Amino acid sequence: MSREEDRTTRYQEGSLTLPGTVMLGTGVMIGAGIFALTGQMAQMTGVLFPLAFLAAALIVSFSAYSYIKISNAYPSAGGIGMYLHKAYGNRLPTAFNALLMYFSMVIAQSFLARTFGSYTMQLFGGDDSGRMVSILGVGLILVAFLINLMGNRMIQGVASFIGVLKIGGILIFGLVGVWIADSISVDFSEPGEAGTPGNFLGATALGILAFKGFTTITNSGSEVIDPKRNVGRAIVISIAACVMIYTLVGFAVASNLSLAEIIETQDYSLAAAARPALGEYGVWFTVAIAMMATAGGILASVFAVSRMLAMLTEMKLVPHRHFGMPGSIQKHTLVYTVVLGLVLTAFFDLSRIAALGIVFYLIMDIAIHWGVLRYLRQDIKANRWVPATAILLDLLALGGFVWVKLSTDPFVIGVAVVTMLVIAVSEQVFLKKSPESAQAKQEQTHAHHHH
C-alpha cells in the first residue's frame, strides 16, 4: 500500500509569491512570442504586425476574464484541467480539451527549443542544414528536465533570475533599437496584399501564442500565496508587461529592418535587427537574451505541463502507464512531456510547430469560455457578455488563421484535424472502459472539495 501512496502528486501550498508567479507567467510569454513570432507575423500581415500584437493582446484580455473568475472561485494546481472538469465533469469534453491544451503547451516548448537553436547558431554564422538547431533544442529540453527534477524552489529561483535578466535585456534592446533607428515611422499606408483582413486575423492568432503563457499562472493556482487575490493580479500584470515590451520591440525591429529582411530572418529577426544598429555586439547581446528567454520559458513550461497531465491522470481522465518508472505520477508525466517535446523539436520546423499549437489552443480556449457561459456562470459570478465576446474573437482569429494556412500550408491543418480525431476517439474508448473508476473518483473529489 505504501508504494501506492507514494504515487500521489505533491503540491506545496503557498510556495509561490506574487512576483514569482508573475515571473513564471511572463517567463513563458516572453520566451516564444517575441523571438520567433515577430518574423512569422510579419510574413503574414506585412508592416501591420505590431498592430497584430495589439489585437492579440485585446483578445487575450477578454480571454483572461474567464480564467481569473474560475481561478478565484476554485484555485487549483491543476489549472486548466480542473477548470474543464468543473464545467464538463468526467466526460469527453474535459479530457479532449485538456489534452489539446497539454499538446499545445508541449508544442510551445518545442517551439521555444528550436528558437533557442536558431538564435544560438547566429553566433556561428547561422545553420543552413537546420541539424544543429535541432540538436541544441534537444539539449536545452534535457537541461530543463534535470532542473525540474530538483523541485519548486529551484524552479522559481532559476526562472526569476532568468526572468529579470531577460526582461531587462529585452527592454534595453527595444529602447536602444528605437533610439538608434533613423525614424520610428512604420509605414502603415501600404500593407500591400499581405494586409488583407484574413491575413491580419491569421497573424493575430499567432500573436495570441505570444500571450498564452498567462494560462501557466492558473496552473500554479493553489501554490500561490493568497491565490484568490494574487492569481488574477499576476495574470493582469503579466499581460500588461508583455503588451508594453512587445510593442516596443515590434517598433524596434520594424524601424531597423525592411519588411523583406524581417521575413527572410524570421526565425531570428531580433538578432538580425540588432545587426545594422549595433553591429556584432548587438547580435551577441540579443542572442544571449534569446537564449535566456527561451531557456526560462521551457523551464517554466515543462513545470506547468507535467503538472497538468498529472492532474488529468489523478482524475482518471487519461490512461497512465508507469513503464516501470519509480516515483510519483508527476515525475512520470514530466518524462512523457520531455520525450514528446524532444520528438517535435527534432523533426518539425518552427512555423509548423506554431501553427499546430495555435489551432489546439484556440479550440481549448473556446471550450473554457463555453463552459463558463453554459455551466459555471452563476457559481463564479461571471458576466455573460465577456466570455461571449471572447468566443467570438477566438473564432475570428482561428478562422483567419485556418484560412491563411489552407492556402499556404494545408498539410499542417490536416495534421491538426487528424490529431484531434485521434485524441477524441481514443479518449472516448478509454472513458467508456472505465466508468466505475471515474464514478468513484468523482465522489472522492467532491468530498475533497467540500472539506
Average pLDDT over residues 218-231: 74
Domains and CATH numbers, the chain: 16-442 (1.20.1740.10)
Confidence of residue 365 (pLDDT cuts 50, 70, 90): very high
Q: For a pLDDT cut of 70, what percent of the chain falls above it?
A: 81
Average pLDDT over residues 241-250: 84
Give the span between the Cα atoms of 138 and 141, in whole angstroms: 5
Does 45 have pLDDT greater than 90? no
Considering only 153-167, 182-196, 379-393, which range has the smallest mean pLDDT? 182-196
Alpha-carbon separation of residue 168 from 27, 161, 234 (angstroms): 12, 11, 19
Q: What is the CA radius of gyration of the chain?
A: 21
Alpha-carbon separation of residue 276 from 111, 166, 255, 273 (angstroms): 26, 22, 11, 6
Does 400 have pLDDT greater than 60? yes
**Cell numbers placing 364:** 481549448
Q: Going by C-beta distance under 8 Å and a sequence separation of 6 or more, which residues neighbour residue 46?
A: 191, 192, 194, 195, 199, 259
- Mean pLDDT of the residues in the chain: 78
pLDDT at 96: 92
Give the span between the Cα atoms of 166 and 294, in whole angstroms: 9
Does 61 have pLDDT greater than 80? yes
pLDDT at 422: 92
Residue for grid cell 526572468: 163
Give the tens place of pLDDT for each residue, 388-399: 999 999 999 999
Average pLDDT over residues 377-383: 83
Does 222 have pLDDT greater than 70? no
Does 386 have pLDDT greater than 80? yes
Average pLDDT over residues 122-132: 73
